Amino acid sequence: MAEHLEAARDVRNLGLVVDINSDHLVGYQLRIWSAPIEGPRFSEQTALIKSSGADFDGGSKSWWIPLARSLDGDETGLDILFRAARDYGTHVVLVPPKASSEEPR
């Protein structure tokens, strides 16, 4: 995907500027799994993942968000997911178009 990086995007949590053209993001998704923690921290983690704009899929017990949608807003869904990974150990994976089309959304 590196050859498709064209429009400037600030990924604040990493302190990097990543160039991304949304036309090349079609079909890419982020798949998210909650860290196996209990009690109030699990609820906090779930609330944070929800605030990223991700949708829960009960069949796979994971969350999904289209990559392009995760880049919208002042605090992007991607920023929020970086924070969830850092603070709670949430697992986030980039799923390419072919694989994501075979998975539930």
CATH code of 40's domain: 3.30.70
- For residues 22 and 36, give the distance between their C-alpha atoms in angstroms, rounded to a whole number: 33
Cα angle: 86, vertex 91, 92; to 5 degrees: 100
Task: Decide: 20 and 7 in contact? Cβ < 8 Å.
Answer: yes
- pTM equals 0.70
Q: Is residue 67 part of a domain?
A: yes
| Domains held by the chain: number | 1
The tens digit of pLDDT for each residue in 38-90 reads 999 999 999 999 999 999 999 999 999 998 888 887 888 899 999 999 999 99
Q: Count Cα neighbours of 4 within 13 Å in the Cβ-side half-sphere.
A: 8
Task: Using the predicted structure, report yes or no on whether residue 25 has a pLDDT greater than 80.
Answer: no
Q: Which of 55, 34, 54, 53 is nearest to 45 (CA)?
A: 34
Q: Is residue 30 part of a domain?
A: yes
Q: Is residue 15 part of a domain?
A: no
Q: Is residue 13 part of a domain?
A: no
Residue 52 is part of which domain span? 25-102
Q: Is residue 83 part of a domain?
A: yes
Other beta carbons less than 10 A from residue 97's beta carbon = 12
